[in-house]
Amino acid sequence: MRYLPLTPEDRREMLRRTGVADVNELFADIPADRLPAAPFDLPQHKSELEVERTLTRLAAQNVAAASVPFFVGCGSYRHHVPASVDHLIQRSEFLTSYTPYQPEIAQGTLQYLFEFQTQVTMLTGMEVANASMYDGSTAATEAVLMAHRITGRRKAVLSGNLHPHYRQAISTVSAMANYSASVGAADPSGGEDLVASIDAETSCVVVQTPDFYGHLHDLRPIAERAHAAGALLIAVVTEAMSLGLVMPPGDMGADIVAAEGQSLGNALNFGGPYVGLFAARQKLVRQMPGRLVGETIDADGRRGFVLTLSTREQHIRREKATSNICTNSGLCALAFTIHLTLLGQEGLSRLARINHAHAVMLADMLAAIPDVTVLNRTFFNEFTIRVPRRAASVIDDLAARGVLAGVPVSRLEPDQPLLEDLIVVASTEVNDDADRAALVAALKEVLAS
Amino acid sequence: MNRQDRNLAGGAQGDRGATASDTFTGNRALEIEEALIFEIGRPDTTGVDWQDPPSVVPRLGGLTRATPTGLPALSEPEAVRHYVRLSRQNYGIDSGIYPLGSCTMKHNPRLNERMARLPGFADIHPLQPLATVRGALELIAELARWLRELTGMPAIAMTPKAGAHGELTGMMVIKAALRARGEDRTVVLVPQSAHGTNPATAALLGFRIEQIAARPDGTVDVAEVLSRLSSDTAAIMLTNPNTCGLFERDVVAIAEAVHEAGAYVYADGANFNAIVGKVRPGDLGVDAMHINLHKTFSTPHGGGGPGAGPVALSGALAAFTPIPYVIADSNGLRFVENSDDAEPGATPLGRLCAFHGQMGMFVRALSYMLSHGIDGMRQASEDAVLSANYLRASLSDLMSLPFVDRPCMHEVLFDDAWLEGSGLTTLDFAKAMIDEGYHPMTVYFPLIVHGAMLIEPTESESKVSLDLFVATLRDLAMAARRGDTARFLSAPRHAPRRRLDETRAARKPVLRWTLPAPTTPTV
């Protein structure tokens, strides 16, 4: 077996040294009456070629985004990732290292995480950021739990235009941890007003911008109202690229920002692994979940980095920890930080403007199709259209014509008649004129048939 | 120019003493000092080329970013060098033995990386039409089948993103099952030796933790469990093999008693790698167990993630499997994405996160499983356990074992009794290992042993590698015993950094780079 270096002779010699005749003696504490009654119904080992063949066959049954005009978004976006990113994250010393518990031989990981934390604060306009979370939805969930800890209150107010999966993730944990989460009604026109839902029990208001339907929100009024009621404002961003062009939550009064960082450096990967960004005001740092990297010096006075404020964490505090989280999303955070380092301020701003321009052009083209309405007055690179019949069937018909045109809202918000004719369409830098023309032509055809 | 920048930075951030290096640059041959991107990056350079955007009337509603991000950029050659230099300051499994007990640092096959990058897996969107992702759903179903078969448990929650997320999932499922019975039980039993995530997870859900002491032999005391069980007990969280590296031989008696009391058995699957192909947790009475794909099934740890933590569920809990999941039966594949789509009788817990789980990790794990097959996985378990016992037999005359009665499983636990009187601590010993070119073992965990040193060699080491490791540890142990303290107290001397001041980092946290205050010119 190619991954197992011990030879039969090695094993015999090691058993001899261990003073054991048969390796099964080492497993003698397993109750004999509980050993598997029948052999496992699983195949024997395979060569690299055979495995490659099996998995390649499975992969071939999927339609890769690059092979078609592609406009699918809703919290996961197809962007161009520079070639050097994937090369660098495969450096063995990054790929095959553990959480940096021995900082003297993990400065590589610690320094890039320190750089990552700083970049996240710059991007979000916040004061501190952690070393990443699993993804945007779990970051949002942790943000709500953090707000409960800080305020001592138990109720979260969630915008109806929060990504439905995020809303559900927060609701699942809230229900099981005896907290409450009140959810506004979805408003695809973007005019939702959450102010009335804020009361003296509210620990936080969770608002997404750009929201699930693509609308941008000025968070300043809601921040003011939340703060007046003693609650925190949690801003959710599912498209990190937007922060290159759109006013960041930190400039609009957000107390905590929970974002999905997949757009930078990371592939679609059918939904994971991604990288959650988590940023907050400085005064809240000791209630933050997750790993934090801090600067210090070594015994020779040289600058170095370590995991710090660990007294918040489960391995020290156990049941009194701020969160049960152990890992972050290190390698995805590395991809994120490398991509952002290649872009810098100017590159990110330019790329964000390209995204916005492509979406504006597409929105205008779609709005010109009879019976198609664009619902958004504002958007970044994603917007919602209304079509004259069930959106899910329109999307399936378009897929049959080789165009992946967006997400029917009904897939995430089933059984809501008012949302059944809506499609969320995303357009990034990867879409060219031909893609847009193909979508428009196919949609006209489908709607005419 | 770079050197100047770094010196400026060093001067501002802490003093780069003359003692730090005997070279002009501060570099030591292959080991090259690297400044922060904020010190070497410039706003007027770029590592990407994008054309000017097409001209359009913006639809931002006036919400244009007013404050520039201030993000620095590096050109591609500079960026590549930056990250390559940083990588060389890291130790990885590919560098050498990485015996972190409980973390399972085994070889990460490169085939897995290649497979995960196939466009049919990496370049597909979680919300594109299901008809265009049949192969992806089939892969998830196939991985779930392997996990069911290996655990002997009928259902797998595939979406948890890491071990701790899996724990949270498992305990939420248990709570949902109790609620469905109309019960609101409040106590979770957690052995003293448990990972910190166990009590943290239970506490997050509002459970009260009762700690179970270990027996003198390092295992959970059945009598103690029996005396604690009541109609208020929701679950016990058991790690098996436990964090002392011992198989909980009374697990069946414990599980039966727990079930008798109407409670559930949660198993922390962090150490599943010791028993894969040897015994099925479902046959031992486990109701829920997370599986760290990044430990047992070789997906890379990546410097602390991403992981993946699917949870196996018993028949008693299967109905609560969170969405989404794939049902594979004679009718083909069906994807249950919303609770309303669930089959009759199912009452899914709800959704844990956006989308469908850690697909990139699923591909790698299945690639590992197909490569090993059941025969290879059983052999891997045996090799891991044999290697740990080989280390135990080769070191126990010099280093002290807290538990001597029985063989260990995949990891061997020493304590610091043997260092008594030497003036040295477990940490000193660990730091000296760094100078010898090894990543230290897990130290000071589990908490039930004083100065714990938990060594997990995994099945990935050759005998030559193990023998050199043994010889090194023996040399260090003898040096410690004969009072050669200098070798330890000054360690590490050959790492990119000497010991780092963690107290300073925590006392006045510097968690982000800021522009150093301008210094007044001295001339």
Residue B419 and residue B454 in one domain: yes
- List the domain range (segments joined by +) for residue B296: 112-368
User: Where residue B11 falls among pLDDT bands split at 50, 70, 90?
Assistant: very low
Residue B471 and residue B496 in one domain: yes
Tell me the CA distances in angstroms from A30 to A27, B13, B381, one per residue in order. Answer: 6, 56, 14
pLDDT score for B1: 31
Task: Residue A338: name the closest of A73, A113, A129 by CA.
Answer: A113
User: Where residue A315 falls among pLDDT bands split at 50, 70, 90?
Assistant: confident
Residue B149 and residue B208 in one domain: yes
The alpha-carbon gap from A190 to the nearest alpha carbon of chain B, in Å, equals: 12
Q: Is A438:A88 a contact under the CB 8 Å cutoff?
A: no
User: Where residue B385 falls among pLDDT bands split at 50, 70, 90?
Assistant: very high
Examine the predicted complex and report whether its ipTM is higher than 0.90: yes
Q: Is residue B302 one of the residues assigned to a domain?
A: yes
Least CB-CB distance to A407: which of B26, B73, B127?
B127
**Domain end position, chosen among B368, B398, B421:** B368
Residue B388 and residue B360 in one domain: no
CB–CB contact B512 A121 (8 Å): yes
Q: Are β-strands B233-239 and B187-191 bridged in parallel, bridged antiparallel, or unpaired?
A: parallel
Residue B19: HSE in the Cβ half-sphere, 13 Å Cα cutoff = 9
What phi and psi values does residue A352 have, to the nearest 5 degrees?
A: -65, -40
Which residues in chain A have Cβ-Cβ distances shorter than 8 Å to B98?
96, 98
Reduced to 3 states (helix: H, G, I; strand: E, B; else coil), residue A404 is strand
Q: Are β-strands B325-329 and B187-191 bridged in parallel, bridged antiparallel, or unpaired?
A: unpaired
Q: For residue B249, what are the β-bridge partners?
A: none
The model's pLDDT over B282-306, given as tens digits with 9 standing for 90+, comes to 999 999 999 999 999 999 999 999 9
Which residues in chain A have Cβ-Cβ distances shorter than 8 Å to B56?
356-357, 360-361
Token representation of residue B377? 């996985």
Task: Residue A434: name the closest of A358, A364, A383, A367 by CA.
Answer: A358
The model's pLDDT over B205-254, given as tens digits with 9 standing for 90+, comes to 999 999 999 999 999 999 999 999 999 999 999 999 999 999 999 999 99
Q: Is residue B4 one of the residues assigned to a domain?
A: no
Average the pLDDT over A96-114 and give the result: 97
CB–CB contact B132 A260 (8 Å): no
Which residues in chain A have Cβ-Cβ distances shorter than 8 Å to B494?
none
Residue B8 has pLDDT above 70, yes or no: no
Q: Is residue B229 one of the residues assigned to a domain?
A: yes
Average the pLDDT over A109-123 and give the result: 98
- Residues in contact with B126: Cβ distance below 8 Å, sequence separation at least 6, in sequence order: A76, A268, A270, A271, A272, B354, B355, B356, B359
pLDDT score for B522: 57
A residues 24-83 lying closer than 8 A (beta carbon) to B: 25-31, 34-36, 39-46, 48, 50-52, 54-67, 70, 72, 74-76, 78, 82
Distance CA A147, CA A254 (A): 12
The alpha-carbon gap from A62 to the nearest alpha carbon of chain B, in Å, equals: 4
CB–CB contact B196 A317 (8 Å): yes
- How would DSSP label each residue in B464-501? HHHHHHHHHHHHHHHHHHTT-THHHHT--SSSSS--B-
The model's pLDDT over B16-50, given as tens digits with 9 standing for 90+, comes to 444 456 899 989 999 999 999 999 998 789 999 99
CB–CB contact A42 B150 (8 Å): yes
Least CB-CB distance to B367: which of A29, A55, A302?
A55
**Percentage of chain B lying above the pLDDT 70 cut:** 95
- Residues in contact with B326: Cβ distance below 8 Å, sequence separation at least 6, in sequence order: B137, B140, B141, B144, B158, B333, B334, B335, B336
CATH code assigned at B446? 3.90.1150.10
Distance CA A131, CA B107 (A): 25
- When the pLDDT of each residue in chain A is averaged and rounded to a whole number, the result is 96
Residue B6 has pLDDT above 70, yes or no: no
The alpha-carbon gap from A258 to the nearest alpha carbon of chain B, in Å, equals: 13
Crossing angle for the helix pair B359-395 and A48-60, to the nearest 10 degrees = 150
> Over A210-249, what HEC string results?
CCCCCCCCCCHHHHHHHHHCCCEEEEEECCHHHHHCECCH
pLDDT score for B13: 43
Q: Which sign, positive or negative, has the C-alpha torsion B175, B290, B249, B285?
A: positive
Least CB-CB distance to B50: which of A136, A300, A347?
A347
Residue B353 and residue B380 in one domain: no
Reduced to 3 states (helix: H, G, I; strand: E, B; else coil), residue A305 is strand
CA quadruple B141, B171, B346, B145: dihedral, nearest 10: 20
CB–CB contact A404 B251 (8 Å): no
Residue B222 and residue B117 in one domain: yes
Q: Is B428:B489 a contact under the CB 8 Å cutoff?
A: yes
User: Where residue B3 falls among pLDDT bands split at 50, 70, 90?
Assistant: very low
- Residues in contact with B472: Cβ distance below 8 Å, sequence separation at least 6, in sequence order: B433, B436, B438
Residue B144 and residue B249 in one domain: yes
The model's pLDDT over B456-511, given as tens digits with 9 standing for 90+, comes to 999 999 999 999 999 999 999 999 999 999 999 999 999 999 999 999 999 999 99
What's the order of all strands across the beta sheet hosting A155-158? A128-129, A276-280, A256-260, A232-237, A202-208, A155-158, A180-183
CB–CB contact A106 B461 (8 Å): no
For chain B, the domain total comes to: 2
The alpha-carbon gap from A183 to the nearest alpha carbon of chain B, in Å, equals: 16
Q: Is B478:A278 a contact under the CB 8 Å cutoff?
A: no
The alpha-carbon gap from B284 to the nearest alpha carbon of chain A, in Å, equals: 7
- Residues in contact with B289: Cβ distance below 8 Å, sequence separation at least 6, in sequence order: B151, B153, B170, B266, B267, B268, B269, B272, B281, B311, B312
Residue B407 and residue B354 in one domain: no
A residues 181-210 lying closer than 8 A (beta carbon) to B: none
Residue B351 and residue B381 in one domain: no
**Domain end position, chosen among B353, B368, B383:** B368
pLDDT score for B521: 63
Distance CA B402, CA B446 (A): 12
**Domain end position, chosen among B351, B368, B385:** B368
CB–CB contact A134 B308 (8 Å): no
Interface test with B, best of A116, A134, A178, A424 (most B CBs within 10 A): A134
Q: Is residue B41 one of the residues assigned to a domain?
A: no
Average the pLDDT over B110-133 and give the result: 98
DSSP label of A65? G
CATH code assigned at B335? 3.40.640.10
Residue B389 and residue B333 in one domain: no
- Residues in contact with A379: Cβ distance below 8 Å, sequence separation at least 6, in sequence order: A210, A214, A215, A216, A359, A363, B59
The alpha-carbon gap from A131 to the nearest alpha carbon of chain B, in Å, equals: 10
pLDDT score for B21: 66
DSSP label of A364? H
The model's pLDDT over A15-29, given as tens digits with 9 standing for 90+, comes to 999 999 999 999 999
Tally A–B CB contacts below 8 A.
739
Q: Is residue B207 one of the residues assigned to a domain?
A: yes
CB–CB contact B366 A45 (8 Å): no
Amino acid at A268: L
Average the pLDDT over A288-313 and give the result: 94
pTM of this structure: 0.96
Interface test with B, best of A327, A334, A350 (most B CBs within 10 A): A327
Nearest CA in chain B to A309: B506
Q: Where are the alpha helices (DSSP H) in B333-462?
A: 359-395, 426-435
Residue B2 has pLDDT above 50, yes or no: no
Least CB-CB distance to A45: which of B84, B201, B376?
B376
Q: Is the peptide bond before B199 cis (omega within 30 degrees of 0)?
A: no
The alpha-carbon gap from B235 to the nearest alpha carbon of chain A, in Å, equals: 15
Residue that is written with structure tokens 């030497």 in the block: B422
Q: Is residue B94 one of the residues assigned to a domain?
A: no
Which residues in chain A have Cβ-Cβ distances shorter than 8 Å to B186?
none
Amino acid at A173: V
Interface test with B, best of A48, A86, A96 (most B CBs within 10 A): A96
Residue B289 and residue B193 in one domain: yes
Residue A294 has pLDDT above 70, yes or no: yes
Q: Which sign, positive or negative, has the C-alpha torsion B171, B173, B176, B180?
A: negative
Average the pLDDT over B51-61 and give the result: 96
| Rg of chain B on CA atoms, in Å | 26
Residue B15 has pLDDT above 50, yes or no: no
Nearest CA in chain B to A316: B196
Instruction: Walk me through the domains of chain A, giving residue ranges and CATH numbers.
Output: 66-79+345-448 (3.90.1150.10), 83-339 (3.40.640.10)
Residue B192 and residue B298 in one domain: yes
**Percentage of chain A lying above the pLDDT 70 cut:** 100
pLDDT score for B186: 97
The model's pLDDT over A259-283, given as tens digits with 9 standing for 90+, comes to 999 999 999 999 999 999 999 999 9
Token representation of residue A131? 């070393």
Distance CA A3, CA B468 (A): 20
Q: Is residue B38 one of the residues assigned to a domain?
A: no
Q: Is residue B381 one of the residues assigned to a domain?
A: yes
